[in-house]
């Protein structure tokens, strides 16, 4: 089997790349290899769906800013004869709260974000109270709001990109990559677990949490590793009189609304809290005990009305972590023909439209013209050129 572009991983990033290639006029054959077409283990399928530009690195800010208009139009642009997605981008803002202990770090981050071009506002407690009227703010010094930020339904984003890519002519193959073919130092294809050899002009590694393993099959050490992230969905005790922004408590617990889709459905929230001591590795077992031990106590302290939450249900997804929590983007200099778009460390969905543009340009023009992503090069770890950005939650 021969193709012009072989994309390894058909999640949000891989499908965005496939769709953008077609959108930009690429007429060659595109094959997307996805090991699990149910997407039950896909990071985007299990994600929270946050979309924010509050980062300290200028190119990262620009990538999300570029993506926001796309998110506003997503449900229309990704509509096909088969279905129209309901990703439903809700631009309700991201609001980070600072108490006395966390205020210096958040203040420094706020200044870095402004210099990077992010649209952010510093809010005193009185202004925060207007956004979240029933929050307890006696310990809060200030907040930082990204008014253009928000969230979308991650499963609808995934299915929308996938269906649109298929409608545009991308071919999806359900299989796993068993080996990467390297000839004369150049990647020229893969062998699938089912035995099929696929020759390709370009191989794109969008394998998410397993991107490091694909790199190893090509003889490279690119440190992208899976790390479990726990999330919970819970039902509010009543229909809340206002909609939450993505609210980030000083301790790290954060939550957003999970709005009713149909009349009569319950009003719910989705919450997450990164455990930075979590062991690396593929672990999708839900740790339900964290709800009572860590999540609910922090949420009720901040917002006593949440004491009435019911039906809390937890699940685990995977962050695709890099040592500096920033993505890996570009062709590896030691393996021409292998382009990386992975390692987003929990931020892949929000950047997926811009990432599709970046990789499409790399394939069609040999470089990314819209964004300079050279600092995210896949060999930066070997060179010790890590990118430090304090805005990771």
Summarize pLDDT for 187-226 with one digit per residue, the tens.
Answer: 999 999 999 999 999 999 999 999 999 999 999 999 999 9
DSSP letter string over 158-179?
HHHHHHHHHHTTPEEEE--EEE
Q: Where is the domain boundary, 270, 285, 319?
A: 319
Domain containing 311 equals 94-148+226-319
Q: Where is the domain boundary, 319, 348, 374?
A: 319
Do 236 and 123 lie in one domain? The reply is yes
> For the chain, how far is it from start to end, CA to CA, in angstroms?
42
Do 168 and 303 lie in one domain? The reply is no
What is the distance between the alpha carbons of residues 45 and 71, in angstroms, rounded to a whole number?
17
Do 340 and 197 lie in one domain? The reply is yes
Do 201 and 123 lie in one domain? The reply is no
What single DSSP character describes residue 280? B
Specify the CATH number for the domain of residue 275.
3.30.9.10
More confident residue, 81 or 323: 323
Summarize pLDDT for 22-61 with one digit per residue, the tens.
Answer: 999 999 999 999 999 999 999 999 999 999 999 999 999 9
Does residue 301 fall inside a structural domain? Answer: yes
- Residue 294's alpha-carbon distances to 132, 231, 250, in angstroms, are 21, 12, 13
Do 263 and 305 lie in one domain? The reply is yes
Parallel/antiparallel/unpaired status of strands 246-248 and 254-258: antiparallel
pLDDT bracket for residue 376 (50, 70, 90): very high
What is the distance between the alpha carbons of residues 342 and 5, in angstroms, rounded to a whole number?
17
Do 276 and 184 lie in one domain? The reply is no
Global confidence as pTM = 0.96
pLDDT value of residue 230: 96
Do 311 and 365 lie in one domain? The reply is no
Do 80 and 132 lie in one domain? The reply is no
């Amino acid at each position: 089997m021969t193709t012009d572009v072989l994309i390894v991983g058909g999640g949000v990033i891989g499908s965005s790349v496939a769709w953008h290639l077609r959108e930009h006029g690429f007429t060659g054959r595109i094959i997307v290899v996805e090991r699990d077409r149910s997407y039950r283990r896909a990071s985007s399928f299990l994600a929270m769906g946050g979309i924010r530009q509050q980062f300290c690195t200028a190119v990262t800010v620009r990538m999300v800013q570029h993506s926001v208009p796309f998110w506003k139009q997503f449900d229309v642009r990704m509509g096909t004869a088969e279905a129209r997605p309901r990703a439903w981008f809700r631009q309700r803002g991201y609001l980070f709260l600072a108490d006395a202990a966390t205020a210096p770090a958040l203040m420094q981050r706020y200044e870095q974000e402004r210099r990077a071009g992010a649209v952010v506002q510093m809010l005193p407690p009185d202004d925060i109270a207007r956004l979240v009227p029933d929050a307890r703010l006696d310990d809060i010094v200030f907040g930082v709001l990204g008014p253009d930020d928000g969230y979308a339904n991650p499963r609808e984003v995934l299915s929308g990109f996938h269906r649109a890519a298929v409608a545009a002519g991308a071919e999806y193959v359900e299989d796993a990559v068993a080996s990467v073919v390297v000839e004369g130092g150049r990647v020229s294809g893969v062998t699938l677990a089912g035995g099929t050899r696929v020759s390709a002009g370009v191989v794109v590694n969008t394998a998410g949490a397993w991107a490091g393993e694909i790199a190893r099959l090509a003889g490279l050490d690119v440190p992208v590793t899976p790390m479990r992230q726990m999330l919970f969905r819970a039902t509010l005790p009543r229909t809340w009189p206002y909609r939450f922004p993505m609210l980030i408590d000083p301790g790290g617990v954060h939550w957003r609304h999970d709005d009713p889709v149909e009349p009569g459905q319950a009003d719910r929230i989705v919450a997450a809290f990164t455990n930075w001591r979590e062991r690396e590795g593929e672990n999708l077992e839900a740790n339900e005990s964290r709800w009572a031990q860590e999540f609910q106590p922090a949420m009720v302290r901040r917002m006593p009305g949440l004491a009435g939450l019911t039906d809390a249900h937890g699940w685990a997804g995977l962050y695709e972590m890099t040592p500096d929590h920033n993505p890996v983007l570009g062709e590896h200099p030691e393996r021409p023909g292998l382009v990386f778009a992975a390692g987003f460390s929990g931020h892949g969905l929000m950047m997926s439209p811009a990432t599709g543009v970046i990789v499409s340009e790399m394939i069609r023009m040999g470089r990314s013209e819209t964004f300079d992503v050279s600092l995210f090069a896949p060999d930066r770890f070997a060179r010790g050129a890590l990118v430090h950005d304090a805005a990771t939650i």
